[in-house]
């Protein structure tokens, strides 16, 4: 059993290399033997660790003041809101909710690919498409590593939405707190473009489709989500 576990672990680690260096070969193998444990747990636990370290290191009173500074609250409401923001509660709720949100995102992506696969005539089960969605997000592991290094060296007066340096903001732009586009800009991870490319390669491998279809299928969820976000911002300005 120990030898089998060791062999399985080595195979998972090799998959982490192959998905970046030989994605076509990787997704061909994944179709026959879907697996997702290593990248999923690395992402989930890595995200939880980043948030835990952040709340241990951040100047909490400064963070609360900054977050509340954009709210239109009276003095009494401001004081009540400040009292309701507790370091431990915010820390543990973030540690739990962030990985949970990641899991939900992968589940929704798996449902999307399952339905798209049925339309394309691909007979793969939910587990296979869940593995597909997790592995096509492998570049987010690099974002996680960068964020982990950042949280260990960041100034104590750093806002939580500035943790991930591979995001549009702060990598290319830096919008002020309260700016209408800040939420969107701090959510767009530029490495997700790499993830879309992996998804397109994987889709093409699994369906034998052309590049046009593969790119559309892989990019459609992001286009819908961020497109709707842009429309919402424009409609509420």
Which pLDDT tens digit goes with each residue over 98-151? Answer: 999 999 999 999 999 999 999 999 889 999 999 999 999 999 999 999 999 999
Partners of 167 in the β-ladder: 189
User: Which pLDDT score, from 0 to 100, does residue 178 have?
Assistant: 87
Q: Quick check: 8 pLDDT over 70?
A: no
Confidence at residue 1, expressed as pLDDT on a 0 to 100 scale:
44
Mean pLDDT for the chain?
A: 91
Cβ atoms of 90 and 199 closer than 8 Å: no
For the chain, the structural domain boundaries read: 24-236
The single residue listed with the structure tokens 């992996």 is: 198
pLDDT (tens digit per residue) in 82-105: 878 888 989 999 999 999 999 999
How many whole angstroms separate alpha carbon 154 and alpha carbon 56? Answer: 12
- Name the β-bridge partners of 189: 167
- Is the pLDDT at 17 greater than 50, yes or no? yes
Burial class of 52 by CB neighbour count within 10 A (0 to 12, 13 to 18, 19+): middle
Predicted local distance difference test score (pLDDT) of residue 15:
81
Longest C-alpha distance within the chain, in Å? 64
Separation CA 91–CA 93 (nearest Å): 6
DSSP category for residue 233:
H
154, 209 in Cβ contact below 8 A?
no
Kindly compute the dihedral angle of the four CA atoms of residues 202, 204, 205, 207, in this order, to the nearest 10 degrees.
120
Question: How high is the pLDDT of residue 4?
Answer: 42
Out of 13-17, 49-53, 71-75, the most confident range is 49-53
Pair 197, 18: CB distance under 8 Å: no
Can you tell me the mean pLDDT for 193-209?
96
pTM over 0.85? The answer is yes
Distance CA 204, CA 222 (A): 18
How many other C-beta atoms can be found within 10 angstroms of the C-beta atom of residue 46?
A: 18
From CA 237, how far away is CA 235, in angstroms rounded? 6
Q: What is the mean pLDDT of residues 30-47?
A: 94
Reported as a pLDDT band with limits 50, 70 and 90, residue 2 is very low
pLDDT above 70 covers a percentage of the chain that reads 95
For position 133, what pLDDT does the model report? 97
CA atoms within 13 A on the CB side of 197: 12
pLDDT tens digits along 158-169: 999 999 999 999
For tokens 């994605």, name the residue. Answer: 23
Q: What are phi and psi of 188, to 5 degrees?
A: -80, 110
Percent of the chain with pLDDT over 90: 79
Rounded distance between C-alpha atoms, residue 25 and residue 30, angstroms: 9
């Amino acid at each position: 059993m120990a030898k089998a576990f060791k062999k399985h672990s080595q195979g998972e680690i090799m998959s982490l290399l192959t998905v970046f260096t030989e994605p076509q070969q990787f997704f061909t193998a994944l179709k026959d033997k879907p697996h997702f444990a290593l990248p999923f747990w690395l992402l989930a636990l890595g995200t939880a660790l980043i948030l835990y370290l952040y709340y241990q290191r951040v100047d909490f009173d400064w963070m609360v003041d900054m977050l509340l500074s954009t709210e239109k609250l009276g003095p009494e409401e401001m004081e009540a809101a400040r009292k309701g923001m507790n370091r431990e509660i915010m820390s543990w709720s973030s540690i739990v909710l962030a990985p949970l949100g990641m899991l939900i995102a992968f589940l929704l992506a798996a449902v999307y690919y399952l339905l798209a696969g049925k339309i394309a005539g691909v007979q793969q089960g939910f587990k296979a498409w869940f593995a597909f969605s997790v592995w096509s997000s492998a570049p987010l592991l690099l974002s996680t590593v960068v964020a982990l290094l950042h949280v260990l060296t960041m100034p104590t007066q750093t806002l939580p939405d500035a943790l991930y340096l591979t995001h549009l903001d702060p990598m290319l732009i830096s919008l002020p707190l309260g700016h209408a586009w800040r939420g969107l800009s701090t959510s767009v991870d530029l490495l997700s473009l790499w993830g879309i490319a992996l998804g397109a390669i994987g889709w093409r491998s699994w369906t034998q489709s052309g590049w046009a279809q593969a790119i559309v299928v892989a990019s459609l969820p992001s286009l819908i989500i961020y497109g709707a976000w842009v429309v919402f911002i424009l409609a509420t300005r």
